[in-house]
Structure 1
Amino acid sequence: MARIVLKIDVDTLRGTREGVPNLARLLERAQANATFLFSLGPDHTGWALRRVFRPGFLKKVSRTSVVEHYGIRTLLYGTLLPGPDIGRRAAAEMQAIAHAGFETGIHTWDHVYWQDNVRHRDRAWTERQLDLAHARFREVFGASPATYGAAGWQGNAYALQKLDAWGMRYASDGRGRGPYRPIVAGRTLQHVQMPTTLPTFDEVLGVDGVDASNVERRLLALTEADRDQVFTLHAELEGQKLAPAFSRLLDGWRAQGHQLVSMGDYHATLDLAALPAYSFAWGEIPGRAGELIVQP
Structure 2
Amino acid sequence: MPKLTLKIDADTYRGTRVGVPNLINQLRRHRAGATFLFSLGPDHTGWALKQIFRPGFFSKVSRTSVVEHYGLKTLMYGTLLPAPDIGKTCAEFMRAARDAGFECGIHTWDHRVWQDDVRTADAQWTVETMHKSHARYREIFGEAPRTHGAAGWQMNDHAFVQLDQFGMAYSSDGRSQLREDGRLADADAGPHRLAAFGKPLSCVQLPTTLPTLDEILGREIGGKMIDAGNAAEFLLQLTKQPRDHVFTLHAELEGQKLGPIFEQLLSGWRTQGYELVSMGDYYQSIKNDVLPILPIAWGELPGRSGEMIVQAM
Identify the TM-score tier after normalising by the shorter chain: over 0.9
Cα distance in structure 2, aligned partners of 1:213 and 1:51: 30
**Aligned position for 1:50:** 50
Q: Which amino acid aligns with 1:174?
A: G
Query: What TM-score do you get using the length of structure 1 for normalisation?
Result: 0.99
Q: Which residue of 2 aligns with 1:233?
A: 249
What SS does structure 2 have at the residue aligned with 1:105? strand
- Whole-angstrom distance in 1 between the partners of 2:151 and 2:228: 24
Q: Which stretch of the first structure deviates more once superposed, 266-275 or 73-82?
A: 266-275
Structure 1 runs (4+) deviating above 4 angstroms are: none
Provide TM-score, normalisation by structure 2.
0.94
Unaligned runs of 5+ in 2: 177-188
Q: How does 1:98-177 map to 2 (within 5 A)?
A: 98-176=98-176, 177=189
Q: How many residues align?
A: 296
Bigger mean CA deviation after superposition, 209-218 or 281-290: 209-218
In the alignment, which residue of structure 2 is the partner of 1:278? 294
Structure 1, unpaired ranges of 5+: none
- Whole-Å separation in 1 of the counterparts to 2:214 and 2:288: 32
Deviations 1:218-266 (A, max 9, x none): 1100000110000000000000000011011100000111000000000
1:39 corresponds to 2:36:
no
Q: Distance in 2 between the 1:28 and 1:89 partners?
A: 24
Percent identity, aligned pairs only?
61
AA in 1 matched with 2:257: K
Alpha-carbon shift at residue 159 of structure 1 (Å): 0.3
Which residues of 2 match residues 253-264 of structure 1 at below 5 A? Answer: 253-264=269-280
- The one-letter code of the counterpart of 2:228 is A
RMSD, matched Cα: 0.7
Which of 181, 190, 197 lines up with 2:193 in the alignment? Answer: 181
Tell me, what secondary structure is at the counterpart of 1:163?
helix
1:273 deviation in Å? 4.4
Deviations 1:191-218 (Å, cap 9, x if unpaired)? 1000000000000000121111221111
Distance across 1 between alignment mates of 2:62 and 2:82? 26
Q: Give the superposition deviation at 1:272.
A: 3.3
The Cα offsets for residues 127-185 of structure 1, whole Å up to 9 and x where unpaired, read as 11101100000000000001000000001000000000000000000001200000111
- The answer to whether the aligner puts 1:191 opposite 2:203 as a matched pair is yes
Q: Distance in 1 between matches of 2:93 and 2:55?
A: 36
* Matched residue SS, 1:213: coil
Equivalent of 1:202, from 214, 233, 236?
A: 214
Does the alignment pair 1:214 with 2:206? no
